[in-house]
Amino acid sequence: MSSSPNAGGVSPASLVSRRGLLLVLSSPSGAGKTTIARNLLAADPLISASISVTTRPQRPSEQEKRDYYFIDKARFDEMVAKGELLEHALVFGNYYGTPKKPVEDWLAMGRDVLFDIDWQGAQQLEEKMSNDLVRIFVLPPSMAELERRLRSRAQDSETVLQGRMAKAADEMSHWIEYDYIIINRDAAASTRQALTILNAERQKRARLTGMSDFIGALRDQM
């Protein structure tokens, strides 16, 4: 048996390739999924954010191609008709959707893709890419805390805010459709939980597409 990790001039570890995964974060508006998503992106260089198209007006703090691709309804309808979107939904009077090609390219390269979407979008991804999907539902610790967080954002009118609170109960009823649940009492702790889930899912045998080559290289060293 050779004692050299590079017997034959090939490092087995370099042969292990992995298919990327789709990590979905969903929650009622204000429960904190967007903060967790941003923390994940800052903490892990192997995951990229899926950037949605939307017909919603651009907010002052948002940047084109960083937060969303802002398009009009005609272009959105065209993308739906051509099958260019993995998922799409109408949310509070505005349309949102995920362009398909960049996501498929990232998965093939072994990169993970993070989705900050609602339960409707998650259901559509389940129909199309169930083998690649990992779903996390984020819950607030209480309804009072949910309302406090919504008010602290100071970006919605009172009518919109009350609409978000009213819709929260329906959104939370979909928790059972998800693989994991995080009760977001603290954003840092919730981010650590999400990272633990992500790292465990990366090691699933079905995603390690290079394992046959890796095992073969190990055997060659014997």
pLDDT at 10 over 60: no
Mean local confidence (pLDDT), 33-48: 94
Residue with tokens 């923390």: 39
Mean local confidence (pLDDT), 44-70: 92
User: Do residues 46 and 112 make contact, with C-beta atoms less than 8 angstroms apart?
Assistant: yes
DSSP state for residue 28 in the 8-state scheme? S
Residue 91 identity (one-letter amino acid): V
Q: For all residues of the chain together, what is the average pLDDT?
A: 88
Between CA 143 and CA 91 the distance in angstroms is 21
What's the count of helices (H) and strands (E) in the chain, helices before strands? Answer: 8, 9
User: Do residues 84 and 76 make contact, with C-beta atoms less than 8 angstroms apart?
Assistant: no
Domain ranges of the chain: 15-50+110-220
pLDDT at 121 over 80: yes
pLDDT at 122 over 90: yes
Alpha carbon distances (Å) from 68 to 5, 55, 119: 46, 10, 19
Fold of 15-50+110-220: Rossmann fold (3.40.50)
Residue 201 sits at φ, ψ, to 5 deg, of -65, -30
Model pLDDT, residue 154: 66
Look up the pTM and report it. 0.81
Which residue intervals of 26-118 are DSSP H helices? 33-43, 73-81, 100-108
- pLDDT per position as a tens digit, 142-197: 988 888 887 787 667 778 778 788 889 899 999 999 999 999 999 999 999 999 99
Instruction: Kindly provide the b/e burial profile for residues 85-105, where b requires at least 16 CB atoms within 10 angstroms of the residue's own CB.
Output: bbbbbebeeebbbbbbeebee
Of 9-13, 46-50, 59-63, the least confident: 9-13
Mean local confidence (pLDDT), 108-126: 92
pLDDT at 93 over 80: yes
Alpha carbon distances (Å) from 20 to 5, 74, 165, 174: 27, 32, 35, 25
Model pLDDT, residue 202: 94
Nearest to 193 by CA among 137, 120, 123, 116: 137
Residue 214: which pLDDT band, with cuts at 50, 70 and 90? confident
Residue 92: which pLDDT band, with cuts at 50, 70 and 90? confident
Model pLDDT, residue 8: 40
pLDDT at 3 over 70: no
